[in-house]
Amino acid sequence: MTTVPSARALRGLACASLVFLALCGGDDGGGARAQSASPALADTSASSNRPAPPDGQPAVLTSPTPGIKFASRSATFVWTNTGANQYGFSIQSATSATPVVDTVTSATTLTVTNLPIDGAGLVVRLRSRFKGKWLPANEYQFTAAGYTAAQSTAAVKPWSDPIALPLVPASAANLPDGKLLLWAARSPTSFSTSSSEAYTYTSVFDPATRSSSPMTVTATGHQMFCPGLSMLADGSVLVTGGSDATKTSIYDPALGGWATGAQLGIARAYQSSTTMSDGSVFTVGGSWNGGLGGKYGEVWSASTRTWRTLAGVPANMPDASNVSNPPLAGPDAAGVYRGDNHMWLFGAAGGWVFHAGPAAAMHWIDTRGSGAILQAGPRSDDPYAMTASAVMYDIGKILKLGGAPNHDSGNAFNTAYIIDINAGPPNPATVRKVSPMAYGRTFVNSVVLPNGEVFVMGGQTQPVTFSDSYSVLAAELWSPVFERFITLPPMQKPRNYHSVALLLLDGRVLAGGGGLCGCPADHPDAEIYTPPYLLAPDGTPAPRPAITAAPATATWGSQIAVATDRAAASFALVRMASATHSVNTDQRRIPLAFTGTAGNYQLGIPADRGVVLPGNYMLFALDGSGVPSVARTINIR
C-alpha cells in the first residue's frame, strides 16, 4: 500500500492523549475549537478558503459530519469528486503514533472498520493528487467511540459524597418534576409484618438541592414494604401488597399525597407488577407474605380501578409434573416462599406481558379473559437467577445480568444475556449470551441511560440479607454497541439488599439505601453518579445541549415539535420508573426517529402502545458527541 507523503502527518502527536485533547479541542469533538487552537487542525471552511490551485480543487469531506463522536468501530467516509487522479486518506489517533489507516484510492468513498474505541481524538486527513502533484490536505477532527480513562475507569470523583436521607429508601419512584419519592416501612430503619403497624414513612428527595422533605407517616392502613410497584399512565405510583399483603396505595404527584386503592384479590408480597399497554397493571407471585403458593396473576383495571384474578395464570413451582411445560416460579432452595418472588415482567401490546425470569424458562402471559401462559423458550444456558436485573435498553431488547442460584445462598452470577422479544407473542424470544461482568452480583440494580448504555451498581458476590459482607462497590457500564462491560470507580457505601437506583432528569444516576434492619447494614443515604457521557475526554464537564421547547403531552403515532439550542444527533425517551428489591419493570428506553435541522425538529412517537407504555417519560436530546441534555418530562397516553 502506498503511503501518502506528508510533512504534517504526525503534527499534534507530540503531546500525550489527554494533553492533545485539552490543547486541540478534543473535549467536545468539534472542529471549531480545533480551528482556533491549532491551525494544523483546520476545519473544512478554513481549508476551502485557500486559493484553488490552477490544476485542481482539493476534495472536501461530506460525510460523516466533522466534529462528531463515532458510535462504533466502523464508519464510511465520503468526499467530493474533484476529478483528481488519486485521493490520499489517513486517520491518526491521539493515542498512537501508528496511523489507524493510511491509503491512496481513486474512489470517493472509504469504509473503515478498525476505528479505535478509546474515546481519543482522531484527525482525518484528505488529500487530492492532480498530475502527480499532491495538493494541501484538508483536515477534520473526530472523537473515537468509547471513553477515555479520564471519563470512565479513572474518572476523578464521579460519585458524590453520601447524601443523608431521613430514612432507608427500600423503594423509590421518579416524580414528574424530577424529584424522587422515597419510602421505607413502619419506621425509617425497620419493618414488620404486623397488621397493627399499617403505616409507612415516606419522604421526597430533590436531586437539584440534594435535600429531602420532612418524613411523613402515610396512614392508608398499608405498610408498603416488599410490595409490587408500577407507574400509572398519569404518573401516579401504584403500590401493591407487601407487609400488608392485600392492601394497595396510590401516590398522586398532582396532590402530593397517598390514597387508598382497591384491595388485591390475593394477599401477596415480594411480587412484581408491570403496567400494560392500556394502562392496566398485571401482578403475579409473592409468597413472602399472605400464605405460601396460590399466587395467581391479577389485573388492576385502569378503567374500573379494581382487581380481577386470572385463573389461567398460576405461579406454580417446577416439579415432575411440569417438566415439559415449565412454570413461572423457579427452583429456589427455600421453596415457593422465595421461588415465586421478584419476576421480571415487561408489558407488551394487546394485553400481553413478557416474563423473562428469574426462572430459566421464559413465557408470554395473556391477561385477557381468565388468562393464559405460553412458553417463550429457555434463557439460553442461564439457570434460575434470583435477585438479578433485567432492563429494556432498546425496543424489544432486554439485558439480563447477575443473580444467584437462590435468594439466600450460592455464588452470584456474573453472566449477561440479551433477550430479543421483537417477534412478539406467541413467538419464542431470541437469546444471546454476551461478555460477562467483572463481578458476580446479586441484589443488584441496573439503570438504562438515554444513549442505551446500562449502568450497573451494587450487590453482593454472595447473597446475605441485612449485611455489608461480600459487597461490590465498583460500578460497571455496559455498551449496547460493543456488548461488553467496563468497570467504573467505586461507591463509598454498600448498596445491597433493600437498595435502589434510578435515572435522574439531568442524566445522572442516584443509588441509595440498603439495610432497613435497625442494624449496621442500614444506609439512610444516597450517592449520585455522573456517567462518562457527561464528561469530556479530559475528564472535565462536557458542554451539554439543551431542549429549549417541547410539549408536555403527546399520544401514540403523533409528531411533536422539539427545539434545541444546538444541533442534535439523536433523541430518546426513557420511561420514568420505580425500584425495589432489584426489580424495576417500569424503565425502558425508546430511541426516536426525527426530521429537521438547525435546532428545530419533528419527533415521531411510535404508534405501538406495547412499545410506548402509557405514562411519564424523560425526553433527552443528545449531541454529536453523545452528550445528553437535561430531560423534559412528557406524558404519553
Active site residues: 497
Q: 355 and 343 in contact (C-beta within 8 Å)?
A: yes
518/4 Cα distance (integer angstroms): 70
* DSSP, res 187: B
Euclidean distance between the first and the last CA atom of the chain, given in angstroms as a whole number: 58
Residues 138, 140, 143: CA angle, nearest 5 degrees: 165
DSSP notation for 305-350: --EEEETT---PPP-GGGTTS--SS---TTTHHHHT-S-EEEE-GG
285: cell is 407471585
Local structure of 122: helix, strand or coil: strand
Q: Residue 288 corresponds to which amino acid?
A: W
In terms of DSSP bridges, do strands 211-212 and 600-604 run parallel, antiparallel, or are they unpaired? unpaired
Among candidate residues 315, 325, 322, 265, the one with its CA nearest the CA of residue 293: 315
The residue written with cell numbers 460500578 in the block is 475
Q: 290 and 269 in contact (C-beta within 8 Å)?
A: yes
141/523 Cα distance (integer angstroms): 46
Q: 235 and 192 in contact (C-beta within 8 Å)?
A: no
**What residues contact residue 179 under an 8 Å CB cut-off, 6+ apart?**
204, 205, 206, 207
Local structure of 37: helix, strand or coil: helix
Q: Where are the beta strands (DSSP E) in 156-207?
A: 163-164, 171-174, 180-183, 200-206
Q: Where are the beta strands (DSSP E) in 425-531?
A: 430-434, 445-448, 454-457, 474-479, 484-490, 499-503, 509-513, 525-529
* DSSP, res 4: P
Q: 384 and 412 in contact (C-beta within 8 Å)?
A: no
**What residues contact residue 241 under an 8 Å CB cut-off, 6+ apart?**
226, 227, 228, 247, 248, 264, 267, 268, 269, 271, 283, 286, 289, 290
**Dihedral sign, CA of 59, 63, 67, 73?**
negative
Q: Give the DSSP H/E element, type plus range, for residue 17.
A: helix 17-24
Q: 423 and 430 in contact (C-beta within 8 Å)?
A: yes
**Dihedral sign, CA of 60, 64, 65, 67?**
negative
Among candidate residues 247, 278, 280, the one with its CA nearest the CA of residue 265: 247
Backbone phi, then psi, for 123, in 5-degree steps? -115, 120
